[in-house]
Structure 1
Amino acid sequence: MRAIVYTQPGDPDVLQLVERPVPEPGPGEARVRLAYSGVNPTDWKRRSTADPGPDGQTPNQDGAGTVEAVGQGVDPALVGERVWVWEAAWQRPYGTAAEYTVVPARQTVLLGADPSFELGASLGIPFLTAHRCLTLGETVPDRLGPGTLDGRTVLVQGGAGAVGNAAIQLARWSDATVITTVSSPAKAQLAAAAGASHVIDYRREDVVTEVRKIAPDGVDAIVEVSPTTNAATDAQVLGMHGAVAMYADDSGAEITVPVRSQMVLNARWQFVLVYTEPRRAKEIAVEDVNAAVLDGAIRVGAEAGLPLHIFPLAETAQAHRAVEDGAVGKVLIDVTA
């Protein structure tokens, strides 16, 4: 099979297209013939710094394709099913930048006949991250679905990014009022297309003033992409018992939080990384995200506020570079091209 492999950490040029044997699924595993692979920031960050091991590493956690074989203990009825895959490369050598990957069967999720493989490959890390951010507070439920966030207000900082887009779509599916911030009119159009109720251009408007107009008592949850930059703002717009969920690290920067005001609110400031979050929280997120997909509530493409940038497998290095350089939208690899 064709696969992208790197044998040492470094810049995107360490990614090489090679021929590898088709992996065989072991007990409890499934082999998926991939159609698309999704690229996330954690993929290039791991490629840049982590030891790939003696046999090399195929990158990328997310993907979508068709189950071709299963190992012992897995229902053979899974063979032939269209699925989306999550965490393929987490502590495993077989990422999704290849014609095939092998993962634990529980990490294949039925996609159904209608949703596209492009959509399936765009789920995984962004949507599971967004789900965690929307459900870890004390005033919000731990499940998402129609009506579950009715009466709640969510602030998504950075609504034009992949996680921001996912948070907007999931929150709107759950009937929340969604406020989001962006840095330009073009990104405002993307956030509105995703379904945001209110869009604030933080370069032109005062975020605290505008949020307080919409939510005088503060917001219930904040999905935070840039905690170092936004901590002071978040502290001023958070409501009683609200939560700030921080899922990006600003390249290792630190944050300062006003203790007294947040103590009065009984506020929660929590870090989010899908790979190490509690297993049950992850299982719930997978179930809810897939329910949203099957409900027709999740979309991709410019009309959904998430432009797709598609590269062939041989150009995986360019795909990684695009994400590293901050491409707006979702970067995918067409494994079949």
Structure 2
Amino acid sequence: MKAITYRAFGAARDVLQVEDLESPTPGPGEVLVDVAFSGVNPSDVKARAGARPGVTKPPYPVIVPHSDGSGVISAVGDGVPEGRIGERVWIWNGQWQRPFGTAAEQIALRSEQAVRLPDSVSLETGAVLGIPGLTACHTVFSGDDIAGQTVLVQGGAGTVGYLAVQLVKWGGARVIATAGSGSLNRVRSAGADIALDYTTPDLAEQILDANNGQPVHRIVEVEFGRNAETDAAVITENGRINAYGSAKATTPPLPFYPLMFKSVTLEMVLIYLQPPEIRNQTIAQLTCALKEGALDCPIQSVYDLSNTAAAHEEVEAGGRTGAVLIRTGS
């Protein structure tokens, strides 16, 4: 089978290559997926570039990148029902703590990591669900019921934030979303009741004004370090902040007492490490939203397997309005 590989950290065009590898065989409890699309996420390009703290060399001699993908099950290992053959699926954690991910024509992995895709949902959308979809769903619904509440989505124009805005509306809550000035209409189109420019100096006051002077119940946070003071000012007592990123301030000071004296719950979300019972619940919620047509997952670009380096470069450039995919099948 053809696959994208790398053996050293570096620039995409320097280290990524197309290689012929032996097709995998599903072991006990595993399925073999003929991959149709592989999703390229910021975590994938950071891993290839060697940008993860404390990691100085690749953890495996040969790596096939990317954790997200979609395709069709073509074979099963012992203990997996043969009825799964032919099933359209989406993949999570394809290259998490293992060498071979979804940037290949086939992947063998545990049966539960290949989730049945609703008939109404495209394989392209399936390749967006592993990291962006599960992250958005968990940050929106982890904790208490959001129905009737007000949720602030910081960075609502990003891939995760855009999905989160839609999921908040589907969950029956009011949405205030922040974005850059050029992306405010984008978050409104996702369903935001109020869209605010996150660069404005009085953002906290604007958020409270937009909620009739009342603090918000929950915050879905893409840049915790940069926004911690604002979040502490606008969150309600016993509120919740679910943070999935802090790239612009990786070791931020924490406004501990402003948060403590509101008894705020702060959850750091790393979707790769969800316990099975929580992951299953998140998958069930995400599947329900998909079946009910509540989610639009924009695709910005689709590259051929041989042009994976360009896909990595597009993700690294930032400013995307949709997912970047690799077409791995014929």
- Counterpart in 2 of 1:146? none
Contact 1:136–1:243 at 8 Å: present in 2 too? no
Distance, in Å, in 2 between the alignment partners of 1:327 and 1:80 is 37
Distance, in Å, in 1 between the alignment partners of 2:306 and 2:97 is 24
- Counterpart in 1 of 2:6? 6
Distance, in Å, in 2 between the alignment partners of 1:255 and 1:136 is 23
* Unpaired runs of at least 5, structure 2: none
Match of 1:155 among 139, 143, 152: 152
Contact 1:33–1:99 at 8 Å: present in 2 too? yes
Q: CA deviation at 1:68?
A: 0.5
Distance, in Å, in 2 between the alignment partners of 1:56 and 1:87 is 17
Task: Count matched residues.
Answer: 322
- Counterpart in 2 of 1:136? 142
Question: Which stretch of the first structure deviates more once superposed, 226-235 or 271-280?
Answer: 271-280
* Residue 258 in structure 1 maps to residue 259 in structure 2: no
- Counterpart in 2 of 1:210? 206
Question: Which stretch of the first structure deviates more once superposed, 232-241 or 49-58?
Answer: 49-58
Q: CA deviation at 1:188?
A: 1.2
Q: 1:322 corresponds to which letter in structure 2?
A: E
* Residue 125 in structure 1 maps to residue 131 in structure 2: yes
Distance, in Å, in 1 between the alignment partners of 2:7 and 2:119 is 37
Contact 1:300–1:308 at 8 Å: present in 2 too? no
C-alpha change, 1:312 and 1:296, in structure 2 (3 Å) is same
Q: Cα deviations across residues 206-226 of structure 1 (Å, max 9, x unaligned)?
A: 321221123233111111111
Distance, in Å, in 2 between the alignment partners of 1:27 and 1:97 is 23
Distance, in Å, in 2 between the alignment partners of 1:76 and 1:176 is 41
Contact 1:235–1:257 at 8 Å: present in 2 too? no
Q: CA deviation at 1:168?
A: 1.0
Q: 1:191 corresponds to which letter in structure 2?
A: V
Q: 2:205 corresponds to which letter in structure 1?
A: T
- Counterpart in 2 of 1:94? 100
Distance, in Å, in 1 between the alignment partners of 2:40 and 2:197 is 27
Distance, in Å, in 1 between the alignment partners of 2:131 and 2:92 is 7
* Residue 310 in structure 1 maps to residue 310 in structure 2: no
* Residue 270 in structure 1 maps to residue 267 in structure 2: yes
* Residue 335 in structure 1 maps to residue 328 in structure 2: yes
Identity over aligned pairs, percent? 39
Q: CA deviation at 1:264?
A: 1.8
* Residue 65 in structure 1 maps to residue 57 in structure 2: no
Q: 1:195 corresponds to which letter in structure 2?
A: G
Over 4 Å off, 4+ runs:
none
Contact 1:7–1:53 at 8 Å: present in 2 too? no
Distance, in Å, in 1 between the alignment partners of 2:281 and 2:163 is 16
Q: CA deviation at 1:55?
A: 4.0
SS at match of 1:300: coil
- Counterpart in 2 of 1:190? 186
* Unpaired runs of at least 5, structure 1: 142-148, 302-306
Q: Cα deviations across residues 182-205 of structure 1 (Å, max 9, x unaligned)?
A: 1123x1122122221211112357
- Counterpart in 2 of 1:80? 86
Contact 2:223–2:248 at 8 Å: present in 1 too? no
Contact 2:163–2:297 at 8 Å: present in 1 too? no
C-alpha change, 1:214 and 1:54, in structure 2 (3 Å) is closer
Q: 1:150 corresponds to which letter in structure 2?
A: A
Distance, in Å, in 2 between the alignment partners of 1:110 and 1:321 is 31
SS at match of 2:283: helix
Distance, in Å, in 2 between the alignment partners of 1:300 and 1:166 is 7
Contact 1:67–1:79 at 8 Å: present in 2 too? yes
SS at match of 1:265: coil
Q: Cα deviations across residues 242-270 of structure 1 (Å, max 9, x unaligned)?
A: 12222113166222232222122101222
Q: 1:5 corresponds to which letter in structure 2?
A: T
Distance, in Å, in 2 between the alignment partners of 1:327 and 1:95 is 25
Q: Cα deviations across residues 83-130 of structure 1 (Å, max 9, x unaligned)?
A: 111111111222111111111110111113221111111111112112
Contact 2:35–2:104 at 8 Å: present in 1 too? yes
C-alpha change, 1:251 and 1:230, in structure 2 (3 Å) is closer
Contact 2:225–2:248 at 8 Å: present in 1 too? no
